[in-house]
Structure 1
Amino acid sequence: MVNSLYIRLQSTAQRLIEKYGQTGTIKRVTPPDPVLGGDGTETLYPAKLVPMTYEQRYINGTTILTSDRQIYVSSVGLAVVPRVGDIAIAGGVEYHVIAADPNNYDGQVNVVFICQGRTAT
């Protein structure tokens, strides 16, 4: 049974991301066929997201760099669950997803996706 608290939290997260976020994209590249080869296939999924700078206390220089961004992605209407290896595009900047947390507390409702994004340098 779906807990109504998580539905309300999801609605709140969506409202805040709509207000303060931007339209972006989650890009997923599927690998080429292992036998036939070829190029991987890119699929773009429209998303509402907010890239934010990490607080200084979380930056340690190894797992979280100063150029990393904490990316909040609205789960409402998103066709995929962001995962490691995806690319989040916001404001023309591509962030490689190196960590992803679905914030799914009851196993049924994805409240919000929080990803760690790293720019390619």
Structure 2
Amino acid sequence: MANPIYARLQATAQRLIAKYGQAGTVKRITPPDPVYGGDPVVTSYPATLVPMAYEASYIDGTVILSGDMQIYISSVGLSIEPTVGDVVTANGNDYAIVAGDPNKYDGVTPVVFIVQGRITS
């Protein structure tokens, strides 16, 4: 059962991301059918997000690389849960999601999606 406190936290996160963030997209790439083949299908989902560079103390050169971005994505109005393999467009760049945290404290309500994005080449 959803706890009302998390719905309020979700609304607060949405307000802050809308105020300080930007419009972006989360692109999900569906691979071709293994039997029939075909082309991969890219589906774009509009999102409101805040990309932020990691502080130097977090960059270790293995898990978090220089140039990686911590991206806060509003869960309000987003019909998918961003996951590893998706691509986030922010600041005019494409970032592949290499790690993510849905922040579902009660297991039901996603307060905010926080993902680690690595620039695609």
TM-score by length of 1: 0.97
Q: CA deviation at 1:33?
A: 0.5
Percent pairwise identity: 62
CA RMSD of aligned residues (A): 0.8
Letter in 1 for 2:3: N
The match for 1:53 is: 53
Report Cα offsets for 1:59-91 as digits up to 9, x if no partner: 100110110000000000001000000000012
Question: What is the alpha-carbon distance in structure 2 between the residues aligned to residue 51 and residue 23 of structure 1?
Answer: 11
The match for 2:70 is: 70
Unaligned regions of 5+ residues in structure 1, if any? none
Structure 1 stretches of 4+ moved >6 Å: none
Letter in 1 for 2:61: G
Report Cα offsets for 1:9-30 as digits up to 9, x if no partner: 1011100100000000000000
Question: What is the alpha-carbon distance in structure 2 between the residues aligned to residue 108 and residue 36 of structure 1?
Answer: 36
1:96 is the counterpart of 2:102:
no
TM-score by length of 2: 0.97
Q: CA deviation at 1:36?
A: 1.1
Q: How does 1:5-16 map to 2 (within 5 A)?
A: 5-16=5-16
Unaligned regions of 5+ residues in structure 2, if any? none
Question: What is the alpha-carbon distance in structure 2 between the residues aligned to residue 40 and residue 25 of structure 1?
Answer: 18
Q: CA deviation at 1:38?
A: 1.3
Question: What is the alpha-carbon distance in structure 2 between the residues aligned to residue 70 and residue 7 of structure 1?
Answer: 23
The match for 1:18 is: 18
Q: CA deviation at 1:3?
A: 1.1
1:86 is the counterpart of 2:86:
yes
Aligned length: 121
